[in-house]
């Protein structure tokens, strides 16, 4: 029972960066913009959050700086794709390459430096409960914030007029423009939100999950976040389940290695979450029609058309 509890406790922080990054990408894609630069933005957010926290001693400043830095990268991507109408796939890949290189450059002087982990929000009387206490009431603020943001994103997209306009821009940008809705502005805001969320996910990695900085510390989580959006059929509720499922897989392979369940090389276990990601995408493409995909996803739009 103790091992099961420890496993479940470990899954929650493992799933949090996936959930944060995927939520931002979901909003961006529901607006019709495909941003493949999530990995690069997460890395920039991770190194910026770490550097500012070490320099100022304030984790709040670090988290805010991480969100701002990634949002600035996302703004550059939005300018290229929405104003200059550059190809979204090529621009997103370029953003990942740029973010990876920039993060390595910025973080060169911070490798090996210690930083205090984000404090856990212990709830008096609840955190001390057996099993339930450490499982639900002993995590840092960003874990709870990720769940609040997932709920808020679902309510925004499905229960508000602004969310309806955003979804209209992703389904049929021409019709939304004809009705007088600001398609380009809406997409800009969606992309900026996606960038800020990717930066928040990166800050969680470097300040909470593994409180340190190292190159490529995202380890492909940005790509998994992209796959999660498809896995969830662009629905926030399913996205939460998917994030915790993939977070559980990443922890399960560590447990399998430590317990020696299978006599396989460690690299095989490390590949497991990514192999499952590919398998899920294949199954989705075989079993589901394209009806769940926003109709205007990845398509350029000019306001004068």
Q: What is the pLDDT of residues 19-67, one digit of tens each?
A: 999 999 999 999 999 999 999 999 999 999 999 999 999 999 999 999 9
Residue 253 lies in a domain: yes
In the chain, the largest separation of any two C-alpha atoms, in whole Å, equals: 63
- Residue 174, domain member (yes or no): yes
Tell me, yes or no, whether 81 lies in a domain.
yes
Segment 75-123, tens digit of pLDDT: 999 999 999 999 999 999 999 999 999 999 999 999 888 899 999 887 7
Q: Which residues form the domain of 286? A: 2-111+137-292
Question: Which CATH number do you get for residue 40?
Answer: 1.10.3470
Distance from C-alpha of 248 to C-alpha of 209, rounded to nearest angstrom: 14
Q: Within a domain: residue 125?
A: no
b/e per residue 283-295 (b: at least 16 CB within 10 A): eeeeeeeeeebbe
**95 vs 273, more confident:** 95
Higher pLDDT, 220 or 155: 155
In a domain, 128, yes or no: no
Whether residue 30 lies inside any domain: the answer is: yes
Residue 117 lies in a domain: no
Q: Is residue 301 part of a domain?
A: no
User: Please, what is the end-to-end C-alpha distance for the chain in angstroms?
Assistant: 62
Residue 288 backbone phi and psi in degrees, to 5: -120, 145
- Please give the structure tokens belonging to residue 206: 């470097």
Highest mean predicted confidence (pLDDT) among 12-26, 113-127, 219-233: 12-26
Q: In total, how many domains does the chain have?
A: 1
Q: pLDDT averaged over the chain?
A: 89
Rounded to whole angstroms, how far apart are CA atoms 87 and 33?
11
Can you tell me whether residue 140 is helix, strand or coil?
strand
Residue 299 to residue 113: CA distance in whole angstroms: 43
d(CA 162, CA 164): 5
Residue 107 contacts residue 47 (beta carbons within 8 Å): yes
Residue in 171, 162, 225, 166 with CA at minimum distance from that of residue 21: 225
With H, G, I as helix, E, B as strand and everything else as coil, classify residue 120. strand
């Amino acid at each position: 029972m103790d091992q099961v509890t420890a496993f479940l406790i470990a899954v929650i922080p493992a799933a949090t960066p996936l959930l944060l990054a995927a939520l931002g990408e979901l909003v961006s894609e529901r607006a019709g913009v495909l941003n493949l630069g999530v990995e690069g933005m997460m890395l920039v957010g991770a190194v910026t959050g770490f550097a500012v926290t070490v320099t100022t001693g304030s984790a709040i400043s670090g988290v805010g700086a991480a969100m701002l830095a990634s949002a600035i990268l996302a703004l550059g991507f939005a300018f290229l794709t929405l104003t200059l109408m550059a190809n979204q796939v090529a621009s997103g890949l370029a953003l990942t390459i740029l973010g990876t290189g920039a993060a390595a450059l910025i973080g060169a002087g911070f490798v090996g430096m210690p930083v205090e982990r984000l404090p856990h929000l212990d709830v008096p009387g609840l955190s001390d409960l057996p099993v339930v206490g450490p499982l639900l009431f002993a995590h840092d603020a960003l874990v709870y914030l990720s769940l609040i943001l997932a709920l808020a994103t679902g309510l925004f997209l499905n229960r508000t007029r602004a969310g309806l306009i955003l979804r209209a821009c992703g389904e049929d940008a021409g019709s939304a423009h004809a009705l007088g809705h600001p398609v380009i502005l809406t997409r800009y805001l969606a992309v900026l939100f996606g960038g800020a969320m990717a930066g928040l996910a990166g800050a969680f990695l470097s300040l909470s999950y593994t409180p340190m900085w190292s190159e490529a510390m995202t380890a492909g989580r940005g790509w998994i976040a992209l796959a999660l959006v498809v896995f969830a059929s662009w629905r926030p509720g399913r996205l939460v389940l998917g994030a915790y499922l993939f977070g559980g897989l990443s922890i399960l392979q560590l447990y399998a290695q430590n317990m020696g369940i299978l006599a396989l090389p460690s690299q095989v276990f490390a590949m497991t979450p990514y192999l499952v990601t590919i398998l899920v995408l294949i199954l989705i493409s075989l079993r589901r029609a394209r009806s769940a995909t926003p109709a205007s996803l990845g398509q350029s739009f000019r306001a004068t058309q």
